[in-house]
Chain A
Amino acid sequence: GIQVEQSPPDLILQEGANSTLRCNFSDSVNNLQWFHQNPWGQLINLFYIPSGTKQNGRLSATTVATERYSLLYISSSQTTDSGVYFCAVNTGRRALTFGSGTRLQVQP
């Protein structure tokens, strides 16, 4: 099946810093989503982005489908951005495959 790799696995930032999270995948995809899992376990849908670029406030994402990667940008990070960021993809009629996540800690 499709492989999804996220990097870095862990990231510690000072409040106000910017960061880039990366998701590499091994096959062409129909669906790519970025999620934020907060410390209570809730998964929040950030972007549905199988290709192109989207922005939502301080967050933006870019997927380059032909090169099989996606990037999530966080600008001016806040302590509430802490948690785990997951990339998930699907190809064809198969279920979403999740990466192992990037654990982000934003310190005040």
Chain B
Amino acid sequence: DGGITQSPKYLFRKEGQNVTLSCEQNLNHDAMYWYRQDPGQGLRLIYYSQIVNDFQKGDIAEGYSVSREKKESFPLTVTSAQKNPTAFYLCASSIGGFEDTQYFGPGTRLTVL
């Protein structure tokens, strides 16, 4: 089945540690996105990539890093510089750019202990 997978589903981190969230898609989509959702709020864009080996900062990129070495994969690293990393993280993809329909993965819930 085609779709977007994220792992792990739940992640616990100690303060000061970097963690990497996985996002994989087999939809052959060019564009991929990372969003953050805080309780009771909408989604905010962290990073996006419209082509392999290229990515751009979104509205809240500070404390995060990404890579796009393969079309199918867009991992997000939450670094120790992120002041308040506890949140729900959602990955999405679309065929082309922002004008196209975005499809979302199931999300990763990150908790900093």
Contact = CB atoms under 8 A, between A and B. Distances in A.
- The answer to whether A and B come from one shared complex is yes
B78 to A, nearest CB: 17
Interface in B88-109: 88, 90, 92, 97-104, 106-107, 109
A48 B33 CA distance: 18
A30 B40 CA distance: 26
Chain B interface residue bracket vs A: 20 to 34
Given A86-B43, A99-B42, A101-B42, A40 B106 contact: yes
B41 interface: yes
Interface string A73-104: 00000000000001010100111101111000
A31 B41 CA distance: 21
B52 interface: no
B19 interface: no
A43 B98 contact: no
Interface size class of A (residues with CB under 8 A): 20 to 34
Contact of B98 (A40, A41, A94, A101): A94
Contact of B45 (A35, A42, A93, A96): A96
B58 interface: yes
Contacts of B88: 41
Given A43-B92, A100-B40, A100-B41, 16 more contacts: A31-B98, A31-B99, A33-B101, A35-B104, A40-B106, A41-B107, A42-B104, A42-B106, A43-B104, A48-B101, A86-B43, A93-B97, A96-B43, A96-B98, A98-B44, A101-B41
